[in-house]
Amino acid sequence: MSETIEFQAEARQLLQLMIHSIYSDKDVFLRELISNASDALDKLRLESYRDKDLEVDTADLHIELVPDAGARTLTVRDNGIGMTRDEVVDLIGTIAKSGTAEMLAQLREAQDEKAEDLIGQFGIGFYSSFMVADRVEMVTRKAGAAEGVHWESTGEGTYTLETVADAPQGTAITLHLKPEDAEDSLHDYAQPETVRRIVKRYSDFITWPIRLLTGEEDADTEPVNSRKALWARPASEVTDEELTEFYRHVSHDWQEPLETLRLSGEGTFEYQGLLFLPAHAPMDLFMREARRGVQLYVKRVFVMDDCEALVPEYLRFVKGVVDAADLSLNVSREILQQDRQIQAIRKRLVRKVLQTITALQGDEPEKYRTFWSELGRAFKEGLITDPDNREAILTASSFASTHSPDEETTLRVYKERMPEGQDAIYYLTGSTRASIENSPHIEAFRAKGYEVLLLTDQVDEVWTDTVTEYDGTPLASIAKGDVDLGADDEKPEGFEGLLTWMGTELADDVKEVRLSSRLTTSPACLVGDPGDLSPMLEKMYRAMGQEPPVTKRILELNPQHALVAGLRDKQDAGDADPDVARLLYGMALLAEGGELKEPTTFVNTLAERLQKTL
């Protein structure tokens, strides 16, 4: 009995993209199918180690490619783990990948080349079959199951499912090929030579034998691929192309990696690792269910994907393989977290990544900039979560600053530029560069020639709360604490009355009114005490549904400003207008990009005062 089922909406949209193929390099469909087949063989081998009762034949695990010029088909067959009926519906009929909806939305707006890029970052796996085939059949039987399923679709909205009694274990995918179209770089995939060329190019490193069956010499076919585990080969013997293809296999990214890292350990713990930094932020970088971690192998045997225990969350974009010598194949994720060997490798991995990024800063600034603009925001989370490596993470980071409108600076270079007399690294946080640069707090620093870091990422609000120094120099917010810029001028006298009066008038909004040495041209600004939440952080707590304690701020007045001096005289004469105090406060709030609690009252008061000046 055959049933017809509809693809999930997102899956339908992706299939349309494949059928009308926005991707120019069609050959990659084979890489995707072989990659899936290889994963299926890894899973079966592991399952058979773990479940001794599983009745499967693991004697000759392999992948077969069967081109048939007469029928114009290409079949990709593996004797791996296979899928149950429900798995076919879940895994093939729907897309559960996080970031799907977002990517589809971006695709709708994207130009052609941009679309290719997006798809490239997302990876579309099995669906890429529809770039080269107008109909796809799949027969699969899950290891240990009695019956198999036959799946078939033209990719146009629906697929059919049927039970098959005598399916071989594993999965066979048969592509009914579209006509060759060299102009559209659609090659003749029913020709053994075409298939051989693609395997050599894209899948050579796959460790399972890939056999090409041409109908003539079926028995004892030599594998097409050379099957060498790349991480176990000396770096000098591995080409960049091989690394790129391997990266694509482990990361599901279609792009080239930004940088390759090798790890190896001997002695107590023996391990090897081949790791990559991506050139793009993965789609799910900031999603709660983001995938994290590298593949874990034990002596060349695949044990798990996404091994979180090896990679801290802030390095979740690092992809690749770690092959450890002394682990049981049966390890569970929970046990791994506590394993001493895994902890040692993780420590080493983190150090290696940090060193690599720092080296890029100096040696390959262009690459470093790419890394930083794509992944810096996630990376900076480490300043909060990895105190042991804080200094190294700060060294590898860079920040926008008042020194240059477009170049970011490292803290080391910032320190080199610090003029005599400056004894802290100054920063200001806020929502945009423009709002920070124009905020009154910065005036006196600018006048003094002190550079200020302009921090606009949400994560900056959080780490600056905990990190207090870099390389022996304190980090200081210019919107917090009592700034002493070493002004030689005597503290202006005669403002006590004004400050007390304003403090009382504004008691609901501020905890103190005092004179400022931060201001040159603005009349007033708002600052916090060193431990206070910044307004952005308060806003972030609210956005997360939490109600932070109300933090009143401090209003600082510029004694040099005519408005402040004038108000003092009025107050001395017992004739000060409370509205002016409130206007001053409102102006300070607006100047830093803040929001007034009662904008209408502010505007009405302002209009009234303006009227009097006409």
Ligand X SMILES: Nc1ncnc2c1ncn2[C@@H]1O[C@H](COP(=O)(O)OP(=O)(O)OP(=O)(O)O)[C@@H](O)[C@H]1O
Is residue 36 near ligand X by the rule CB under 6 A? yes
Among 26, 211, 252, 568, binds ligand X (CB under 6 A): 252
Q: From the CB of 142, what's the least distance to ligand X, in Å?
A: 9
Nearest distance in Å: CB 151, ligand X: 11
Residue 529, judged by CB atoms within 10 A of its CB (0-12, 13-18, 19+), counts as middle
Segment interacting with ligand X (CB under 6 A) among 54-62, 122-130, 258-266, 284-292: 122-130
b/e burial code for range 542-563 (CB count within 10 A of at least 16 → b): eeeeeeeeeebbbbbbbbebeb
Closer residue to ligand X, CB minimum distance, 31 or 480: 31
- Please check whether residue 212 is in contact with residue 281, taking contact to mean a CB–CB distance below 8 angstroms: no
Considering the complex, what minimum distance in angstroms separates the CB of residue 194 from ligand X? 21
CB 272: neighbour CB atoms within 10 A?
A: 22
Instruction: Tell me which residue of 548, 547, 407 sits closest to 465, measured CA to CA.
Output: 548
- Applying CB under 6 A, which of residues 19, 126, 356, 515 lies at the interface with ligand X? 126
By rule CB under 6 A, what string of x and - marks binding of each residue 493-522 to ligand X? Answer: ------------------------------
For ligand X, which is the closer residue by CB, 83 or 400? Answer: 83
Number of amino acids touching ligand X (CB under 6 A): 18
Residue 125 binds ligand X, judged by CB under 6 A: yes
Host H or E run for residue 345 = helix 340-363
What separation in angstroms does the CA of 480 have from each of 426, 477, 525, 529? 11, 5, 11, 5
Nearest distance, CB of residue 172 and ligand X, angstroms:
9
Minimum CB distance to ligand X, residue 128 (Å)? 8
Nearest distance, CB of residue 88 and ligand X, angstroms: 8
Return the number of the residue (124 or 591) whose C-beta is nearest ligand X. 124
User: Is 83 among the residues that bind ligand X (CB under 6 A)?
Assistant: yes
Q: By CB under 6 A, is residue 284 in contact with ligand X?
A: no
Q: Smaller CB distance to ligand X: residue 91 or 290?
A: 91
Q: Which stretch binds ligand X (CB under 6 A): 119-127, 408-416, 514-522, 528-536?
A: 119-127
| Cα-based distances in Å from 32 to 84, 192, 229 | 20, 18, 18
Handedness of CA 543, 544, 550, 554 (dihedral sign): negative
What is the rounded distance in angstroms from the CA atom of residue 435 to the CA atom of residue 173? Answer: 57
Confirm or reject binding of residue 282 to ligand X (CB under 6 A): no
Closer residue to ligand X (CB): 252 or 441: 252
Residues in the chain: 614
- Find the radius of gyration of the CA atoms of the chain: 32
118 in Cβ contact with 279 (< 8 Å):
no
Residue ranges of E strands in 336-444: 399-401, 404-409, 425-429
Quick check: 129 binds ligand X (CB under 6 A)?
no
Query: CA 217 from chain center: how many Å?
Result: 48
Choose, by CB under 6 A, the member of 15, 34, 37, 524 that binds ligand X: 37
**Binding marks (x or -) toward ligand X, 205..244, rule CB under 6 A?**
----------------------------------------
Residue 171 touching ligand X (CB under 6 A): yes
User: Which residue's CB comes closest to ligand X?
Assistant: 125
Calpha distance 13→595 (Å, rounded): 42
Phi then psi dihedrals of residue 31, to 5 deg: -55, -45
Give the DSSP H/E element, type plus range, for residue 142: none
With contacts defined by CB under 6 A, name the span among 123-131, 240-248, 432-440, 464-472 that binds ligand X: 123-131
Q: Is 80 in the site for ligand X (CB under 6 A)?
A: yes
Task: Report the distance separating Cα 208 and Cα 76, nearest Å.
Answer: 14
Instruction: Give the range of 31-39, 273-281, 395-403, 511-519 binding ligand X by CB under 6 A.
Output: 31-39
Edge-to-edge order in the sheet of strand 319-324 = 257-265, 271-278, 319-324, 294-298, 301-307
Two tokens, residue 318: 């690092």
Q: How far is the CB of 87 from ligand X (least distance, A)?
A: 7
- How many Å separate Cα 425 from the centre of its chain? 28
CB of 91 to ligand X, least distance (A): 3
Span near ligand X by CB under 6 A; candidates 79-87, 196-204, 495-503, 535-543:
79-87
Closest to ligand X by CB, 142 or 518: 142
Q: Which of 27, 32, 284, 461 binds ligand X (CB under 6 A)?
A: 32
The correct pick among 14, 18, 40, 393 for binding ligand X (CB under 6 A) is 40
Q: Residues interacting with ligand X, by CB under 6 A?
A: 32, 36-37, 40, 78, 80-83, 91-92, 123-127, 171, 252
